[in-house]
């Protein structure tokens, strides 16, 4: 069974409504924007980060248009120097590959190693678009249902303000 089918099945099992759009593989936010989704649908930018010693790992989810200042984020997360985690760490902790970073990858973090932070601004809008652990599709889901999903699989989401 494919990674995305596992996500679809889990959402269906939980009774969470969602809409899926299949598309060519995309690896960046710029490529996502070319897909020209309706403007009332937000696309999420998902960052998988680690601290200086590699002891803490973070999944940070913001609106695709949001600029992220890692220095500012270090303060907000009470972390040492942040950097993007390696592909090896991405595979180890979320079971994902580059270009497919997604909150749905938390399904693979059964030991809750990854800390999850969402920008408060994501609550605005009708739906958020995220990959279903595969960058050839985008799932649109409400903010509330995405939180429900993440909490149901045993993770806590912390809401933060990205204003610098």
Question: Would you give per-residue pLDDT tens digits along the chain (164 residues)?
Answer: 799 999 999 999 999 999 999 988 888 888 887 787 777 678 899 999 999 999 999 999 998 888 888 999 999 999 999 999 999 999 999 999 988 999 999 999 999 999 999 999 898 878 999 999 999 999 999 999 999 999 999 999 999 987 65
Provide the phi-psi class of 162: left if phi over 0, else alpha when psi is between -120 and 50, else beta.
alpha
At 144, list the tokens.
């509330």
Task: Give the range of the structural domain holding residue 120, as residue numbers without chain letter.
Answer: 3-160
Q: How far apart are CA 96 and CA 87, in angstroms?
A: 8
Number of domains in the chain: 1
Q: What is the CATH number of the domain that holds 112?
A: 3.90.960.10
């Amino acid at each position: 069974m494919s990674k995305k089918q596992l996500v679809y099945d889990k959402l269906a099992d939980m009774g969470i409504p969602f809409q899926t759009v299949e598309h060519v593989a995309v690896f960046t936010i710029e490529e996502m924007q070319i897909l020209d989704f309706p403007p009332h649908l937000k696309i999420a930018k998902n960052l998988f980060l680690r601290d200086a010693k590699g002891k803490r790992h973070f999944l940070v989810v913001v609106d695709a248009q949001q600029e992220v200042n890692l220095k500012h984020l270090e303060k907000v997360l009470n972390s040492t120097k942040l950097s993007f985690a390696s592909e090896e760490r991405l595979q180890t902790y979320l079971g994902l590959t580059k270009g497919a970073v997604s909150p749905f990858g938390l399904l693979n973090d059964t030991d809750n190693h990854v800390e999850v932070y969402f920008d408060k601004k994501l609550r605005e809008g009708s739906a958020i678009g995220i990959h279903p652990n595969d960058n050839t599709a985008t799932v649109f889901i409400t903010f509330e249902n995405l939180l429900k999903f993440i909490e149901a699989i045993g993770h806590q989401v912390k809401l933060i303000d990205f204003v610098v």
